[in-house]
Amino acid sequence: TAERIYEYSCSICLDLLKDPVTIPCGHSYCMSCITGYWDQDDQKRVYSCPQCRQTFTPRPGLGKNTMLAEVVEKLKKSKAQAALPAQCYAEPGDVECDICTGRKYKAIKSCLVCLESYCQSHLEQHEGFFKSKKHHLMDATGRLQEMICPQHKKLLDIYCRTDQHCVCYLCMLDVHKNHGTVSAAAERTEKQRQLCEMQRKFQQRIQERQKQLEELREAVESYKVSFEQKNNCWLLKSCFRLSYDSPPVSQ
């Protein structure tokens, strides 16, 4: 119930307790929440409870309240089970199951052979119907039509490097017959490799610039120290010279 959820919620993050700990005054918090809260008071060396404001010195040690953790875990499971039916329905922005009638459930997989998306129950039916056939399933997407060749109605699973776009295998045998082609998966892997290499080079350049900047800072600091030493030496010599050149004071 809402009252039980409130009872086992952290007053800092306002969510159900995670790794609950109980402090000396009896109030409980998430381990990470109270740790972060007390880290802000490290300079004062006085630590307080966010709820009752009772103070503690020195900083209390924190140990997981296993009994409370078990209660919260059971509450989380009951909360998840209660919310499950509502979560199955497709919300705005979700991919809807193409088979559901009336209020549609949220699709979890899309079939690139059937060109349809399925909720959990209809996915199980699909797998039962096509158990002997290998249908290509992927995470549910609302862009199925974009992955299909508009001319041949086949999956765009080949990449033409000559024209730099995806084609189906019938296109490869016809219009793109003498073009350089690879599988779309292979091209994706190659592009990812190139991107990683580019990122590595950029990171290397950044590190080189940071090193140069640090060397420049050190050079400037060294120059300042050297200048101050020379300036002090010059002042000292000037004082000696003035002292030497000045006539003695007559009494």
pLDDT tens per residue across span 100-154? 888 888 898 988 888 889 988 888 888 877 776 778 788 888 877 778 888 887 8
Q: How far is CA 75 from the centre of its chain?
A: 27
Inter-CA distances, 79 with 66, 73, 87, 163, Å: 20, 10, 12, 53
Residue 220 resides in a domain:
no
Residue 66 resides in a domain:
yes
pLDDT score recorded for residue 250: 53
Residue 194 resides in a domain:
no
Has this prediction a pTM greater than 0.85? no
pLDDT score recorded for residue 2: 54
Number of domains present in the structure of the chain: 1
Give the mean model confidence (pLDDT) for residues 24-52: 90
Residue 157 resides in a domain:
no
pLDDT score recorded for residue 152: 85
pLDDT tens per residue across span 154-189? 888 899 999 998 998 889 988 888 898 998 888 888
Residue 19 resides in a domain:
yes
Residue 47 resides in a domain:
yes
Inter-CA distances, 16 with 9, 38, 45, 52, 61, Å: 4, 20, 29, 19, 22
Residue 61: give its domain's CATH number: 3.30.40.10
Residue 32 resides in a domain:
yes
Range of the domain at 40: 2-84
pLDDT tens per residue across span 208-217? 999 999 989 8
pLDDT score recorded for residue 4: 65
Residue 38 resides in a domain:
yes
